[in-house]
Amino acid sequence: MQCTISPGVFEKAPGLLVGVIACHGVVNHPSSPEVIAALREAERSVRASIADDEALKRHPTIAAQQELHRAFGSNPNKFPPSALALAKRVVKGGELPAINTLVDLYNAASLKHLLPVGGEDLETCGGNIQLTLAQGGEPFTPLGETENDPPLPGEFVYRDDVGIICRRLNWREGVRTCLTEKTRHAVLVMEALPPASREMLQTALGGLRDAVVTHAGGTVTVSILGREQPSVTL
């Protein structure tokens, strides 16, 4: 199975880097107290460093994510990038719900580095995964919903050989390939745009990789995709 970024993506986001963490043989239990503690610590870190919504939107990595969403036709105020949505909830004093080990670990990493992170169950994916541009109108059922909510033409989406699995980069996961407690093989993706550097992304990926190995076990490998290397075998 391949994970690939299509050439059209780089026309609008030439500096985009996508970190890919392939996880095989993991045990995705309900989160332990240690995993939940890591999530709460990430929340405290955001509250300590960002005063309010306006300061959050001005943060360099968050601002870059919003700019890219506008570039592919999405309003980030209405459909905020996932890192912005998580941090906004936390800055207002809320806590993220515990979901399962992999999701809680990647949410903690997203908060810590203010980078979008998402994940898919490889066993429910249908063939290769690609970050590409939507044709528009493809069927898609968001996680937590029952109604079809298709993407717009030119929207950045993740898809497999069956259909769309995540819209607006990591804005909303789909029902079909979401991570559950049954997940044993998964891919986690972390997106970085300038001014976030490759080194920053490597550090964030390394921390998430180590956390997955510690709390979910399995065999975990890390790659970074970009214009020069747009594909990896999962």
pLDDT 10s digits, 11-23: 999 999 999 999 9
**58: how many CB neighbours lie within 10 A of its CB?**
11
pLDDT 10s digits, 75-108: 999 999 999 999 999 999 999 999 999 999 999 9
Residues contacting 212, CB < 8 A, separation 6+? 21, 23, 26, 102, 105, 188, 218, 220
Q: What are phi and psi of 70, to 5 degrees?
A: -65, -35
The mean predicted confidence, pLDDT, of the chain is 97
What stretches of 57-109 adopt beta strand conformation (E)? none
136 to 133, 140, 150, 157: CA distances (angstroms): 9, 11, 7, 10
What tokens appear for 83 in the block?
């890192």
What tokens appear for 35 in the block?
């995993």
Question: How much is the pTM?
Answer: 0.96
128 to 4, 181, 228, 233: CA distances (angstroms): 8, 23, 19, 9
What stretches of the chain adopt beta strand conformation (E)? 2-5, 17-24, 117-121, 129-133, 156-159, 164-167, 172-173, 185-192, 219-225, 231-233
pLDDT confidence tier of residue 181, bands split at 50, 70 and 90: very high
pLDDT 10s digits, 104-151: 999 999 999 999 999 999 999 999 999 999 999 999 999 988 899 999
Best CATH choice for the domain 2-233 from the list 3.40.1440.10, 3.30.470.10, 3.50.40.10, 3.40.50.720: 3.50.40.10
pLDDT confidence tier of residue 198, bands split at 50, 70 and 90: very high
pLDDT confidence tier of residue 6, bands split at 50, 70 and 90: very high
β-partners of residue 188 are 21, 119
